Amino acid sequence: MTGHVGPGTVELREVHRFPNRPVRTGGTLHWDVLALYQGVLDGLRAASPVDSAGVDSWAVDYGLLDAHGALLGNPVHYRDARTDGMAARVSERITPEELYAHTGLQHLPFNTLYQLAAARGTPQLAAAQQLLLIPDLLSYWLTGVRGTELTNASTTQLVDPRTRDFSPAVAEAADIELSLFPPLRQPGDPAGELLPEVLEETGLTGPVPVTAVASHDTASAVAAVPAATGRFAYIATGTWSLAGLELTSPVLSDESRQANFTNELGVDGTVRYLRNIMGLWLLQECLRTWESQGRPQDLETLLRDAAAAPPLRSVIDAGDPRFLAPGDMPRRIADACRRTGRPVPEDPAGYARCVLDSLALAHRLAVEDAQRLAAREVDAVHVVGGGVHNALLCQLTADACRLPVTAGPAEASALGNVVVQARAHGTLRGDIGDVRRVLRGALPLRTYEPSGDHGSPQEWARAAQHLRTRT
């Protein structure tokens, strides 16, 4: 994506899109990170001319480098099963209560801490001199400079959100060498310049500075929430739904731990207090399953039929880790409905409706719980990310939350990435609130008011209660 930033204007343009196809070899699910890097180079070529660059990606995953800086094998995908049982193993060294008190991170089986526990004793980890999170790895290949960007580091479960630095106590308890991580850098810090070989390969004219943006895609997405005031909740929807609040300090209470809220770090000293919800992955994986069974579905028709299907009939817990791995999603959804005494959807539209109702309900619970646990009230919900294109999901979210939903931008991560670069170079000025006001004026946004069209407030309340008690 290229961004054009001027006084009061921010424009984004897609210049190149490439698939990100995980590869299973020897029973392990990997990222094809060289193919991704090639896609980045192709993108830079298509973007020419370029004044500045920055990289963001999904969180938690990493590549290991040997003593010469060479990559030791393909990064393992966080959806791989290698982390099964690792939380129990780590809890023998540090209790979940202590871990939360130090890191404020929700329990997700794939946190980097658990991935490193799974990698213990492997020749790769033994040979590793350094660990680079995915955006830091891509940045390293572009610039030759190594660093660990803070917002993404905060997803490793090795960072203390109070000090905004690594937690030696956690690392020691979990027996992880913090020296694997290059020094921390803040969003907005310089991260080097494109190497001569990169300029040559992409046809760009240097120097092209690279900025350590908020390299966790969700941190970039939250930075780009076009909020008018501070009283907002956000839902970054895409493969995941990340729903919560922006705070100035972490919430580390045991109640917060039990509610599985995370305190990831954001731009300008903020905390992203949120919960991970499975997101549109549930639907994407249904579509893949039907396709592999020779029953491909047209998404537009499916969503139209889903909008006409009866509301709140089949509801599942969209936070259930049973939905994490790739594979037959309709079967897992049917199993979940049976387990909780809900009717099993009868056709693809029924499944799509089940997914969207369940996501909307999970959004409601996260927005409600976050307000209670952080003692902060909101009067608006911002939906950003790919889910913005799904009008039914946005409307259901407004109905479920009983709050107006402002939808947009869809490419929030790319925008957040661009505005942090623009600020680093002085093209945009002010704090993140000022930047958000520019975005609000510059972007096409759509508002969804709560309606009774998809179930009455009482029906939503009952369904939310059902979800709280039956799962």
Question: Could you give the residue numbers annotated as active site?
Answer: 217
Q: Binding residue for ligand LRH (CB under 6 A) from 33, 50, 59, 435?
A: 59
- Would you count residue 156 as binding ligand LRH (CB under 6 A)? no
412 with 236: CB under 8 angstroms? yes
Name which position in 240, 261, 281, 460 contacts ligand LRH (CB under 6 A). Answer: 240
From the number of C-beta atoms within 10 Å of its C-beta (0-12, 13-18, 19+), residue 330 rates as buried
**Listed ranges 237-245, 295-303, 339-347, 399-407: which one lies at the site for ligand LRH (CB under 6 A):** 237-245
Pairing of strands 62-65, 130-133: antiparallel
Out of 2, 3, 58, 460, the only residue in the binding site for ligand LRH (CB under 6 A) is: 58
Instruction: Number of residues interacting with ligand LRH: please give it, by CB under 6 A.
Output: 11
Q: Which is nearer to ligand LRH, 134 or 365 (CB)?
A: 134
Beta carbon of residue 155, minimum distance to ligand LRH (angstroms, whole number): 6
What sign results for the dihedral spanned by CA atoms 324, 281, 214, 207? Answer: positive
Q: Which two tokens stand for residue 11?
A: 């424009």
Asked if 111 touches ligand LRH (CB under 6 A), the answer is no
> Considering just the CA atoms, what is the radius of gyration of the chain in Å?
22
Residues 263-302 that bind ligand LRH (CB under 6 A): 276
| Residue 24, beta-bridge partner list | 29
60 lies in the binding site for ligand LRH (CB under 6 A): yes
Q: Sort 359 into a burial class: Cβ within 10 Å, 0-12 / 13-18 / 19+.
A: buried
Nearer to ligand LRH, 202 or 220 (CB): 220
Closest CA to 153 of 189, 188, 113: 113
Which C-beta is closer to ligand LRH: that of 60 or that of 315? 60
Interaction between residue 235 and ligand LRH (CB under 6 A): no
For ligand LRH, which residue of 215, 218, 220, 241 counts as binding (CB under 6 A)?
218
Give, for 422, the enclosing helix (H) or strand (E): helix 412-424
Stretch that binds ligand LRH, among 214-222, 299-307, 391-399, 461-469 (CB under 6 A): 214-222
Q: How many helices (H) and strands (E) does the chain have?
A: 19, 20
DSSP H stretches of helix in 271-411: 281-292, 299-308, 329-339, 348-374, 391-401
Give me the least distance between CB of 276 and ligand LRH, in Å please.
5
CB of 103 to ligand LRH, least distance (A): 14
Beta pairing class for 405-407 and 380-384: parallel
What does the per-residue mask of binding to ligand LRH show for 70-109, with x meaning CB under 6 A? Answer: --------x-------------------------------
Residue 449 CB-density burial (10 A; 0-12 exposed, 13-18 middle, 19+ buried): exposed
- Positions in the binding site for ligand LRH (CB under 6 A): 58-60, 78, 216-218, 239-240, 242, 276
